[in-house]
Structure 1
Amino acid sequence: MEAESAPSRSISAPLRAVWLAGRHALSHAARLALDIALPTLCVSCREPVDGEGVCAACWARLSFIAPPYCPRLGIPFVYDPGPDMLSMEAIASPPAYQRARAAVRYDDVARTLVHALKYQDRTDLAPAMGRWMARAGSELLTDADMLVPVPLHWRRAWRRRYNQSGALARIIARQSGVKIRGDVLRRVRATEQQIGLSRAQRATNVQGAFQVSADLQSEVQGRHIVLIDDVLTSGATADACARALLRAKAAQVDLLVFARVVESGPRPI
């Protein structure tokens, strides 16, 4: 019986390979036909667009952040106050992370991009968003030792199926050559959604939620780390992450996000 069953097993392997190749070809053809029948739409205005999901008009409406800005928090200034001038926010309430940079202001178009990436499985938006982030954070990335995406709790990661911060970090890693370490920082406590919470409530919500595993503290010790996230609002989540990394003896923690909330008319002091 064993002699008779062996040939059938040897034949099944190449047949399976042919079947898988055929299925892949059909799947590719189906996707191509769908792309032809249903052109890519701009994620913001829903007009047909070639490329990365944002039409020229909506791209022009994105408010990219460029100097002059606060050297500590990256908040854009309404005028150039000269070098090394800090914002009122940086002086009044300095965060645990050393520097923050963002590619764009969190306006209507940026909000649509973030929500599409985060909640609508639009991972095709990550390459453009990640490239803009790498450009905005070039000074942070120059001497960075590792990129650490802000982690999701395992339950939320299971429901969402991917971490949007990790998707952005992979693009930034390819652009900058800085390695990703998605294992060193964990979210050890499930937290409420930060949306709708006050600044104080946000800080309380994430207090003690992040931790560096004891067996990985040596990987963090003495390193310059750049945290990666999609949006900076109050900064509570990033601050909690930075504190966990600094407790593990990281030398410095910076923050790089796609978009940040900017109050109207931020001024230096």
Structure 2
Amino acid sequence: MLSQLQTAVGLIYPPVCLGCNQAVDKAAGLCGACWRETAFIGGTICDRCGVPLPGGAAGELAHCDSCMTHPPPWVQGRAALLYRGIGRKMVLGLKHGDRQEIARPAGLWMARAVAATLPDDTLIAPIPLHWLRLVKRRYNQSALLAKAVARETGQPWCPDLLQRIRRTKPLEGKTRAERFAMLDGAILVHPKLIDRLQGRSVLLVDDVMTSGATLSSAAKACIDAGAGSIRVVTLARVAKDT
């Protein structure tokens, strides 16, 4: 019955490319042209924030200047795409365009980025939205991504592990220092879920990383609540040359 319903829906609403909205053979995918234009991250990357680095060999452990100057509170970070072109379009579509179908393939790409780094029984948690923003948007795009990553990795997830206790202004146009000051103390672990966190590895999931201020606030909250090692993964990573 379910397969028949999916077939019927596919006939009425044929699958389209997530990048250009042209018809494609497979739902939740990219056409050949958009796939070639999408900046998937590979090669040498910073082990802490996932930004691509020049030179080196694929898989080589390295750190960018920013992470050496300001080490983040997590042990490893990864991202699937660069935040430009098709990658930026997908992030904005998921975040502001109600393109929730993007979460499933995005979760697959993100899971592949972290698959080799996750300890067993890592708890996957999304970056939370403030409740007023959640009411306005109707869904948390980071929670959709976290659920998809959990499905692909087989690791457990906890959609409400973290709470955003203070509504912050948009971070666009803010300096690194301003971003970190605005997010300081804005995210806490849900008091009823602290026991679930004790000594446990956590993977924090968000849609995009710029300065890392939001992820840092969430990571510090987990560490203060007694978590073990923290890792992060985002759909996209802002790089200086984008």
Instruction: After TM superposition, give the deviation of residue 30 of structure 1 in Å.
Output: 8.8
Matched, 1:249 2:226: yes
Name the CA distance, whole Å, in 2 between partners of 1:90 and 1:202: 16
Name the CA distance, whole Å, in 2 between partners of 1:29 and 1:140: 37
Whose helix proportion is higher, 1 or 2? 1
Distance 1:123 1:264, change over 3 A: same
Name the CA distance, whole Å, in 1 between partners of 2:7 and 2:228: 50
Q: Is the 8 A contact 2:18 2:28 kept in 1?
A: no
Which residue in the other structure is 1:106 paired with? Answer: 83
Q: Deviations over 1:201-254 (max 9, x none)?
A: 211221111111333222111010000001001100000000111100111111
Which residue in the other structure is 1:58 paired with? Answer: 34
Name the CA distance, whole Å, in 1 between partners of 2:61 and 2:117: 16
User: Partner letter of residue 67 of structure 2?
Assistant: A
For residues 1-269 of structure 1, what are the structure 2 equivalents within 5 Å?
34-35=12-13, 39-50=14-25, 51-80=27-56, 83-264=60-241
Instruction: After TM superposition, give the deviation of residue 116 of structure 1 in Å.
Output: 0.9
Name the CA distance, whole Å, in 2 between partners of 1:194 and 1:185: 20
RMSD: 2.4
Aligned residues: 238
Name the CA distance, whole Å, in 2 between partners of 1:67 and 1:94: 22
Name the CA distance, whole Å, in 2 between partners of 1:150 and 1:199: 19
- The gaps in structure 1 that reach 5 residues or longer are 1-26
Q: Could you tell which deviates more after superposition, 64-73 or 92-101? A: 64-73
User: Partner letter of residue 133 of structure 2?
Assistant: R
Aligned to 1:139, the other structure's residue is in SS state coil
Larger radius of gyration: 1
User: Partner letter of residue 47 of structure 2?
Assistant: P
Name the CA distance, whole Å, in 2 between partners of 1:250 and 1:98: 13
Distance 1:171 1:213, change over 3 A: closer
Distance 1:173 1:85, change over 3 A: closer
Name the CA distance, whole Å, in 2 between partners of 1:179 and 1:194: 30
Aligned to 2:117, the other structure's residue is in SS state helix
TM-score using structure 1 length? 0.81
- The gaps in structure 2 that reach 5 residues or longer are none
User: Partner letter of residue 46 of structure 2?
Assistant: C
Instruction: After TM superposition, give the deviation of residue 32 of structure 1 in Å.
Output: 5.5
